[in-house]
Amino acid sequence: MKNYALKTLLAGMLAATALGATPAFAEKVKFEFWYGLSGDLSDRVQEACHKFNDSQADYEVACVSQNTYDATLQNTIAAYRAKKQPAIAQIYDAGTLDMMLSKAFIPAKKLMADNGYKIDWNNYFSGIANYYATEKGDLESFPFNSSTGMFYYNLSAFEKAGIDFKPDTWEHVEEAARKLKAAGYDCPLAFNFDPWTMLEQYSAIHNQPIASEANGYKGLNAQLVFNKTKFVDHVKFFKKMQDEKLFVVKTKQLGMDVVPAFTSQTCQMMQTSIADHGTVGKTLPDGVKWEVTMLPVDKGTERRNSLVGGASLWVLAGRPQAEYKGAAAFLNFLGTPEMGQWWSTVTGYIPVTKTGFDAMKANGFYDKAPYKGRELAIASLTYTPTSENTRGIRLGGFTQIRMEVTTALEAIFMQNADVQKQIDTAVERGNDVLRRFEKTYAGQKLD
């Protein structure tokens, strides 16, 4: 009788163990996320990944830095061809059209619907979402680390130089530079050859086209036109200010880029990303007053919305279905207001959804000294409804086009080359890039 009872008990225990095996010991679904950030920003991405992994028991994301945006795009393409692609890849703004035409991804809307998530897609700020959306407005990827161009100035230096106005126009910037110079500051404004601020952001807020066909949104037959816009006069203005030693080139190649030039108080003004806001606040010595504002416009200009920068998250085709459930869960996790506020707090990037931004305002986030001013990035991106010139830039091979613009600006400011001639050359070479891209994707149309 004892043996029978023991056998019955053991059988019951074994049955219970077997029944409980699936939920108790099931392996997590693992998937990879490749991204292009390094240094402190890479650490923050890793922290976000750990938060997700610790928040639930079903999935585990492995987050792998490719160190740069360019490397991430190239490595993702190579991995896809070798059928070793990650489930998610962070692709920067310049690679958007390359990804769209590749058809090597699962559209954002489809991914979330297929996995049971109801997303209010209108919750994304239009100035951000439009960069990554189809002509019909459907998001293809998920906005992630978003930024826009902003203008920073040392208020303590302004006060010492007797400057009592905000540098909201380039004419004001020139006036401030002259007063700073007269007050003994050798470098009133630091600048580099970054086309993102000097060409792209300037063109958007002045409602100037960079290319035909609505900056490429209407077709692959777009032609660059920025050699015939106000951008040429803007570069000539910078050259004049450089010649008068009021604007000073600061690059990594010369030993100090614009942000360290500003935070070391070597230079008193700069234009750069809102993503640098946190670095500026942490690096400037205590007691130094500084401000951030929207990028200046030319006097008499009707300001338009600025362009979003940064990157979005693409879910790549060709992975097991289970990984897509994990990817959807991860992307949904990143999209919560709590994670949005955390991400903005630790990086300087801006919230991409209205609910995230509203929650941060309600919590008094922007009233706190380290973060005050970051809300102006949202104001800049949403300043007006987007137009054909301010929706974004959808050009093939845009990374190479940016390189051509950078080369032209470097020749102008470092070798005293002719402004119009160099910009014409950049446009000519950039159009060659566009024609090659158009030939590669002949017959394909943008959605």
Complete DSSP assignment for 388-447: TTTS----TTHHHHHHHHHHHHHHHHHH---HHHHHHHHHHHHHHHHHHHHHHTTT----
The gap between the terminal CA atoms of the chain, to the nearest Å, is: 76
User: Between the CA of residue 325 and those of 21, 33, 46, 120, what are the distances in Å?
Assistant: 21, 14, 20, 19
Quote the pLDDT of residue 444: 80
| Burial of 25 (C-beta count, 10 Å sphere; 0-12/13-18/19+) | exposed
4 confidence band (pLDDT: 50, 70, 90): very low
| Tens-place pLDDT, residues 130-186 | 899 988 889 999 999 999 999 999 999 999 999 999 999 999 999 999 999 999 999
pLDDT > 80? residue 334: yes
pLDDT > 80? residue 14: no
Identify which has the larger pLDDT, 102 or 106.
106
Dig out the tokens for 389 from the structure.
């010139």
Quote the pLDDT of residue 135: 80
Angle formed at CA 69 by CA 91 and CA 201, multiple of 5 degrees: 80
Sign of the torsion formed by the C-alpha atoms of 326, 94, 129 and 109: negative
Summarize the confidence of residues 351-377 as an average pLDDT: 91
Quote the pLDDT of residue 120: 92
pLDDT > 50? residue 13: no
Residue type present at position 219: G
Task: Specify the pairing of strand 247-249 against strand 187-191.
Answer: parallel
Separation of alpha carbons 279 and 435, rounded Å: 40
260 confidence band (pLDDT: 50, 70, 90): very high
Quote the pLDDT of residue 20: 44
Domains and CATH numbers, the chain: 24-147+308-367 (3.40.190.10), 150-306+396-440 (3.40.190.10)
For the ranges 55-64, 80-89, 218-227, 437-446, the lowest mean pLDDT is seen at: 437-446
Summarize the confidence of residues 195-210 as an average pLDDT: 98
DSSP secondary structure string for all residues of 328-356: HHHHHHHTSHHHHHHHHHHH-PBP-BHHH
232 confidence band (pLDDT: 50, 70, 90): very high
Summarize the confidence of residues 321-339 as an average pLDDT: 95
CA-closest candidate to residue 90, choices 45, 60, 137: 45
Summarize the confidence of residues 315-331 as an average pLDDT: 97
Quote the pLDDT of residue 88: 98
Residue 185: how many CB atoms within 10 A of its CB?
A: 21
Quote the pLDDT of residue 3: 47
Average pLDDT, the chain: 92
Query: Percentage of the chain with pLDDT > 90?
Result: 84
Quote the pLDDT of residue 443: 81
Q: What is the pTM of this model?
A: 0.89
25 confidence band (pLDDT: 50, 70, 90): low
For 10, the enclosing helix (H) or strand (E) is helix 2-25
What's phi and psi for 272, nearest 5 deg? Answer: -160, -170
Give how far the C-alpha of residue 397 lies from the chain's centroid of Cα atoms, to the nearest Å. Answer: 18
| Tens-place pLDDT, residues 418-433 | 999 999 999 999 999 9
40 confidence band (pLDDT: 50, 70, 90): confident
Separation of alpha carbons 90 and 331, rounded Å: 12
User: Between the CA of residue 288 and those of 209, 233, 248, 271, what are the distances in Å?
Assistant: 39, 34, 22, 18
pLDDT > 80? residue 380: yes
